[in-house]
Chains A and B, each alone.
Chain A
């Protein structure tokens, strides 16, 4: 077999093209890794710093800790009360999640499936909530929750989180429920099911993908929410991690590793939650992007 000159040239060209393609891919990966390093380095820095002695932090802010000082976590958890704040954050996140999903899905069901007078008005009324920034609610809520005995109580804060989550959740869940075929519930109605059992046994199970997406967004935002929690709580019994973090420095003057341990206690659960739930985040944003 002889290879003609032009064939050899084309093989060389193809090879060169493959190489440039590989080089480009390598360069792209290098750039992406650099940005990725920037994105996760703060996290790693917090974890490393949380295990250092204060002296070591000043001497070598970027290196690995030489002697791992696990007691920083004990100090943060017990003395700085991060343990209590952690429990409060968990209770608040779970409680407000159940509340908002229940409230939003019942309303979304009625709006997706029935015609009634004032339906357009109710819809617009709920969507108006998109325009209301949390910051204008602070003073009225601080006064109002005191009047109705919900100030400085996790239950009150959970209700507020549910309330501010309603517009977005109703919007998303209604859009999803409208895509569920009506035949399924018609069969249930023929069997004599009432409104509640159609909702509870047919619509809710079928809405599971949308509920999971909304739950994920709610968990991530409730865990991080700061300003409402700051204004509506007054003492340790109901403070959450983000509020506790902002108060940490008072507890630890010149013990930055202790503060870093508190930050790690706040950050690690949410990163783990995101690792497990990320496909719902991607799905939710993608659905939003394609509509917008």
Chain B
């Protein structure tokens, strides 16, 4: 590197040098992520149904007012809520249980960890097809034919077309898929608890349950709360399973905010209103993070007081 040597120290850390290092990333990020996200905010205040954007009139918050009277928006929000409920009531507890058992295991923990993580890496598009095979109401629906084989004809359900079933059967696969991810997080947190705590408790005669209740759980509470925030963002952005399993149907029953916005954008071509629905999800995410952040800071300051 003769040239580098020649320029040498005079360039080192100079504003131009720093600019050359920072600019490529900031430029690409601005052009293809930040600028488009601002454009999306702009689209959401237009009445734009195809055609050139220059002809789309500015309508202010009319799109957001329209959402208030759109019956599908509350349905979609409720489905985002269902996903969050499953994440909190099923996914995180299962992940924590598995992690706890693995952390207490003598042999084979790394093999189990590998196996449990596999669903996380499988492309959701293939998993959605698979769940459709499983839950389909047709002859080849795996679950229904299994129920028939077991002689439980009365348990056969229209999992992907019945009101009250389809909302859950399009929410559950994502929760199931991500158990392994949160398990690895919890496992890292559990391994981080000093073994001496447990030894001291054992000497004091604490049973396994007492150790779990008074040592394990209090020590991973922070990580658990972080995971709840992650799932909050995940649930707000959920769309891939409803989009690929049922197209949000039947009658928009299994729609989430984002899958509904995809329908508005690419099926109905109402680009202004569709952008507004996507923006609602974006704004709810920011509000959620801001609330959690504020709440977290309050908790911290209470700690130092």
> Chain A: residues with CB nearer than 8 A to chain B?
25, 28-29, 31-32, 35-36, 39-40, 42-43, 45-46, 57-58, 61, 99, 102-104, 106-107, 109-111, 113-114, 116, 122, 125-126, 128-129, 131-141, 143-144, 159-160, 162-164, 166-167, 170, 189, 191-199, 201, 220, 223-224, 226-227, 231, 241-243, 245-246, 248, 256, 259, 263, 266-267, 270-271, 274-275, 278, 281-282, 285-286, 288-290, 292
Contact B129 A259 (CB under 8 A): yes
- Which chain A residues border B189 with CB–CB below 8 Å? 289-290
Which 4 pairs between the two chains have the least Cβ-Cβ distance?
A140-B36, A163-B32, A107-B25, A224-B123
Contact B115 A285 (CB under 8 A): no
Known contacts A131-B286, A224-B121, A263 near B129 by CB under 8 Å: yes
Q: How far is the CA of A288 from the CA of B188 in the complex (A)?
A: 9
Known contacts A137-B37, A194-B11, A195-B12, A35 near B98 by CB under 8 Å: yes
Indicate which residue in B22, B117, B237, B258 contacts A107 across the interface (CB closer than 8 Å). B22
18 A-B Cβ contacts within 8 A? A25-B106, A29-B105, A42-B119, A43-B122, A45-B130, A125-B26, A129-B29, A132-B282, A139-B274, A140-B43, A192-B9, A224-B125, A227-B262, A231-B266, A245-B123, A246-B125, A274-B118, A289-B185
- Which chain A residues border B104 with CB–CB below 8 Å? 28
Contact A275 B114 (CB under 8 A): yes
Q: How far is the CA of A274 from the CA of B113 in the complex (A)?
A: 12
Interface digits, B255-292 against A, CB 8 Å rule (1 contact, 0 not)? Answer: 00010011001100001001100110110011001000
Is B39's CB within 8 Å of the partner chain A? yes
Is B194's CB within 8 Å of the partner chain A? no
Contact B184 A282 (CB under 8 A): yes
Indicate which residue in A36, A144, A271, A281 contacts B36 across the interface (CB closer than 8 Å). A144
Known contacts A135-B278, A195-B12, A271 near B126 by CB under 8 Å: no
Is B70's CB within 8 Å of the partner chain A? no
> Chain B: residues with CB nearer than 8 A to chain A?
1, 3-5, 7-9, 11-13, 15, 17-18, 21-22, 24-26, 28-29, 31-37, 39-40, 43, 53, 98, 101-102, 104-106, 108, 112-119, 121-130, 133, 139-140, 142, 145, 180-181, 184-186, 188-189, 192, 222-223, 226, 236-237, 239-240, 244, 258, 261-262, 265-266, 271, 274-275, 278-279, 281-282, 285-286, 289
Give B300 Cβ to nearest chain A Cβ, in Å. 14
Shortest Cβ distance from A225 into B: residue = B123
Give B186 Cβ to nearest chain A Cβ, in Å. 8
- Secondary structure type dominating chain A contacts: helix
Contact B22 A263 (CB under 8 A): no
Indicate which residue in B1, B12, B105, B121 contacts A189 across the interface (CB closer than 8 Å). B12
Contact B119 A39 (CB under 8 A): yes
Contact B31 A163 (CB under 8 A): yes
Contact A132 B9 (CB under 8 A): no
Shortest Cβ distance from B266 into A: residue = A231
Q: Known contacts A109-B21, A126-B29, A285-B188; can you find 20 more A-B pairs with CB under 8 A? A: A29-B105, A32-B98, A35-B98, A43-B118, A58-B139, A61-B145, A114-B18, A125-B26, A125-B34, A131-B282, A132-B34, A139-B275, A140-B36, A192-B8, A195-B13, A199-B21, A226-B240, A278-B117, A285-B184, A292-B223
